[in-house]
Structure formats: structure tokens, C-alpha cells
Amino acid sequence: MKYFKKIILIFLIISFPVILLADFKVGYYSLKSDKEKSFFNGIKKSLPNSEFIKINGKKDTDVDIIFAFNYRDYTKSSKLQKKIFYACFDKKFSEKLINNNLIGAFCPSLPYYQIIMSIKNKFKDIGSIGIVLHNESTIKDIAKLRIYNPLIRLYEVSEKSRVLFKFKTAIDENDFILLLPDDFVFDYFSFQKILKQLINNDKLFAGYSKAFMKLGAAMAFEADYFKEGIKIGEFLKNIKKSKVRKFKRFYLENIKLYFKDE
């Protein structure tokens, strides 16, 4: 029995370095935003035995895969003949970006249906939700959900001078206002005025950041990029197992919800 235990112990000692080398080397460029850092920390959580190497761009680094978080880093990666995963936080992903090296892409568009249904389930007495938008991509994404009137009413704005008027109309015609990220709608001049309209009319509204809770929102939501990173890390584990043979697109699924009374 003692002899058998010694054999097992020797086997574990010999195998231990192999276990450490079971994962792979991940290259990445500078992480600039909090969401990029949170996303990448989730990946590290899924791949505890991998080596993470910062790429300086001056030479072809010895890595198995490169993570790019913006188009500039993606184009630099494409020249290195390495497998690439593109977390496109900077722009909407295009089919034109797919090439032989790209194994996956993360598209961080908010899960609008999940957010809208969370509002409806929490605030059961509301009859309609108004959304003021300029961003054409977001408008199309919501239109695809096919949950328009009477629940969702979109107010498209194309002129800066009409933003506040559109919000006044939306506030008058709906029980709840959903604020979604849109740089055209929310700028330095309009942000405070929009919030003042909502508060003065005692209107229930949801904001796209936890910070809105301190500004009077009944609800807020944020993408949980850490959990998204964990999800992508699980996908990457299959690269070494040769199970990744074609490009795969990932969408944001995990969000944090905050409510005024919780």
C-alpha cells in the first residue's frame, strides 16, 4: 500500500508542470477603460493557469491568442498572424472584420428586451415606456424586438434643438421613461435639463448607470462585464482542445439591475 501511494505521489509531482502548461498564452494591449479591465479580469478568472502578456507592438510576441478592445488594436493584431478575439467596445461589429485569424467577437450592445421586461415586471401598473433616441443602430435593435405600442414608444430625434421637446412629449405621453446611452441625446448641455424635466414631472425613469440612482431614478442597469469575461474565458478553453474551428459571435447577456426600494 505504501509503495502504491509513493507511485501516486511521484505521478502527481511529474504531472504538476503539465497541468500548469495546460492553458495558453494570452496577448493584450493597454486596457484603457474600467469596462475593459473588468472584462479582462473575468477572462483571467476563467483561465487561472494561463500567462497574460502585454504586447508592446514592436515585435511578434509569442502568444496563442491576442485580445483587441478597439479597431486600432485589431488591425495591428491582424498583421501578426495570431488567433484574435475582438471585444469591440469602440464600435458596432461589422461582418467585414471577419478573417481567418478572428475566432470570436464580443458585441456589447445592451440586452434591450431583458431591460424592458425587467421594467414591466417590476412596475406592473405602467402602460407604456417612452424612449428618446438618435442612434440609428439602437433604434433598429429595439425595432427588431417587435414590442412597440402600446408598451414601447420610440421618439426619434434628428436635431439637437429638438431633444428637450421630444423628452417633454415622451414624458407627457408615457408612464415611464427609459434612458439609453446616446451621445447625441445626452451631452453637457442637455443632461441636467432632461433630469430636471423628469424630476419636475415626478416621472418614473430608468438610467443606464448605477449613478442614476442618486439622481432620482426608480431603476438603473449596468452591463456586468466581469461575468461576460468569464463567459468568453470558458469559450477560449476549447481552443487548446481544437474545438474552435470557426468564428463565433457573442452578445452581452449579463446585466446588473438596481431598484430604488432595494
| CATH code for position 52 | 3.40.50.2300
Q: Are 6 and 104 contained in the same domain?
A: yes
Q: Which amino acid is at 179?
A: L
Q: Are 99 and 20 contained in the same domain?
A: yes
Residue 124 in domain: yes
Burial class for 250, CB neighbours closer than 10 Å (0-12, 13-18, 19+) = middle
Residue 219 in domain: no
Res. 77: pLDDT tops 90: no
pTM: 0.82
User: From CA 224, how far away is CA 172, in angstroms rounded?
Assistant: 33
**pLDDT score at 49:** 87
Lowest mean pLDDT among 44-48, 86-90, 178-182: 86-90
Percentage helix, strand, coil for the chain under 3-state DSSP, each rounded to 5: 40, 20, 40
Residue 149 in domain: yes
Q: Are 85 and 116 contained in the same domain?
A: no
User: From CA 169, how far away is CA 152, in angstroms rounded?
Assistant: 14
User: What mean pLDDT do residues 77-93 have?
Assistant: 84
Residue 148 in domain: yes
Residue 25 in domain: yes
Residue 155 in domain: yes
**pLDDT score at 16:** 39
Percent pLDDT > 90 in the chain is 54
Pairing of strands 219-223, 255-259: antiparallel
Structural domain count of the chain: 2
Please report which helix (H) or strand (E) contains residue 194, including its range.
helix 191-200
140-155 pLDDT, tens per residue? 989 888 776 689 999 9
Residue 196 domain boundaries: 112-207
Q: Which residue has the cell 469591440?
A: 88
Residue 262 in domain: no
Average pLDDT value for the chain: 85
